[in-house]
Amino acid sequence: MSTDWSLVPVPVSVEAVDGAWFTLGGSTRIRTPPGSDEAAAVGGYLAGVLRRSTGYPLPLADAAAAPPDGGISLELVRDDRLGDEGYRLEVTGAAATLRANRPAGLFMGVQTLRQLLPAAVERATPQPGPWRIPGVRIVDHPRFAWRGAALDVARHFFTVDEVKRYLDLIALYKLNVLHLHLTDDQGWRIAVRSWPRLATYGGASEVGGGPGGHYTQEQYAELVAYARDRHVTIVPEVDVPGHTNAALASYAELNCDGRAPERYTGTEVGFSSLCVEEPVTYRFLDQVLGELAALTPGPYLHIGGDEVETLSDERYAAFVERVQRIVRAHGKRTLGWQEITKARLQPTTVAQYWDHRAAGDAVRAVRQGTKLVLSPAPMTYLDMKYDQGTRLGLDWAGHVEVRDAYEWDPATLLDGVGADDVLGVETQLWSETLRSVEDVELMTFPRLPAVAEVGWSPAAARRWEDHRRRLAAHGPRWSAMAVRYHRSPQVPWPD
């Protein structure tokens, strides 16, 4: 494979069209397929990205009305190799043409097109150009259906605009899931109409004693729509029965002793639990999960289930089985941390592997027929320090350098877990130590693109030496976007 491009994730196949360059100009149009609003919206998204830095008008044209005139074309086709998210991109001297079965594939192809343009294309203000795209023929489609990033908005709160920025950044690397950790001991971040104090009281705190915050349901719907426009599904997590101090502090009746604890702003885990034998707990969960299901177009609700230290396995398992039934009654599937494999799981329930110290949970899950999302802490935990000099982050799973995030294979990570058992991969960004967007970005880049490639690219196309060289070319792209990143010594950054 040629090494002249710096695409991340690396495509299934790239072939040079020798000597050809397509040049974007003041009269370039973006043609979109007739009859698909969704495909036209992808064209609009591409135009929006390119107009800022090129200053060109880049009008959209319906392909049925506008005869081929070179320029950029998006086409819907039928190509069985590509699936729902795959695409073909052909760039010649005369035209750049993206073809896909579905708008999602066009959107993924647009990300590739962006990465073929000079880094300055990512700037927010007009730049001089020239805007040349090298001649290529690319065929590309994802290895795994689930390519996610999780953001902990509970330990420290992040605003709607901050989450939108994160969505923009993960979309650039073809991720298609944003998992929002909406509740934890330190804060409850989503308004629930039937239990209003969760957000107004339980949301008004965070680690370190800051003001916290929460999303109104209107704001949350805005995030869901913003994600949908980027072909990203938001998976909301309400973590139960543990990690619930914010809820317990908001409503005395949720506590076994009927007394509400103080709000909590430290960083210990494992101490809180809902009162799993009380009927009120299940009325609470039915109403909370019902409101969340109504806000969620995607199929999954994440119920957490991690790190419960105050319940026996039997009581814990009975709880999880009951919550699964509630999720199902609201038309959704359950996703939960690997601990939920202690319970009998429904066939549609998915477990998320995170704790390498208890890998047996994952193996037990697949024996039950349960599919896994893989978030092994020593590879995908973006809140781990890169090395001992990292100012932010934790180190309970060790240090996670870029190479650790990159050099592993979901199909061989665990004995007894094969590619067919794996839905995909997901990065985790816990925010105990992260207070600002700058903190979030420093921990996310460059490790998130490394994991994105693990989830998207074929195993045979991945090599660390090649990846680090391609990743290096993204440093200037992040600078153009004013994204902070960690200048890992493992990557040969240009000066």
Residues that bind ligand TNX (CB under 6 A): 269, 306-307, 337, 354, 381, 383, 394, 430, 432
Terminal-residue alpha carbon distance, the chain: 26
Taking the least distance from each CB to ligand TNX, the nearer of 233 and 428 is 428
The C-alpha angle 101, 84, 429, rounded to 5 degrees, equals 140
For 54-69, b/e burial (b = at least 16 CB within 10 A) is: bebebebbebeebeee
Query: Is 307 labeled as catalytic in the residue annotation?
Result: yes
Hey, how many other C-beta atoms are within 10 angstroms of the C-beta on 28?
22
Taking the complex as a whole, the smallest distance from the CB of residue 91 to ligand TNX amounts, in Å, to 42
How far apart, in whole angstroms, are the C-alpha atoms of residue 284 and residue 247?
10
Distance of CA 149 to the CA centre of its chain: 3
In single-letter form, the type of residue at position 74 comes to: L
**Residue 241: cis peptide before it, omega within 30 degrees of 0:** yes
Taking the complex as a whole, the smallest distance from the CB of residue 301 to ligand TNX amounts, in Å, to 16
Residue 328, Cβ density class (10 Å: 0-12 exposed, 13-18 middle, ≥19 buried): middle
Residue count (the chain): 495
Angle, in degrees to the nearest 10, between helices 279-294 and 313-329: 40
Cα dihedral 413/418/419/421 (nearest 10) = -110
Hey, how many other C-beta atoms are within 10 angstroms of the C-beta on 208?
14
Taking the least distance from each CB to ligand TNX, the nearer of 11 and 304 is 304
The catalytic residue among 75, 162, 278, 307 is: 307
Taking the complex as a whole, the smallest distance from the CB of residue 24 to ligand TNX amounts, in Å, to 43
Taking the least distance from each CB to ligand TNX, the nearer of 115 and 428 is 428
Taking the least distance from each CB to ligand TNX, the nearer of 269 and 363 is 269
Residue 341, Cβ density class (10 Å: 0-12 exposed, 13-18 middle, ≥19 buried): buried
Taking the least distance from each CB to ligand TNX, the nearer of 131 and 264 is 264
Taking the complex as a whole, the smallest distance from the CB of residue 463 to ligand TNX amounts, in Å, to 29
Taking the least distance from each CB to ligand TNX, the nearer of 28 and 205 is 205
Residue 144, Cβ density class (10 Å: 0-12 exposed, 13-18 middle, ≥19 buried): buried
Taking the least distance from each CB to ligand TNX, the nearer of 204 and 384 is 384
Which H or E run includes 166? helix 160-171
Taking the complex as a whole, the smallest distance from the CB of residue 354 to ligand TNX amounts, in Å, to 4
Report the catalytic residues: 307
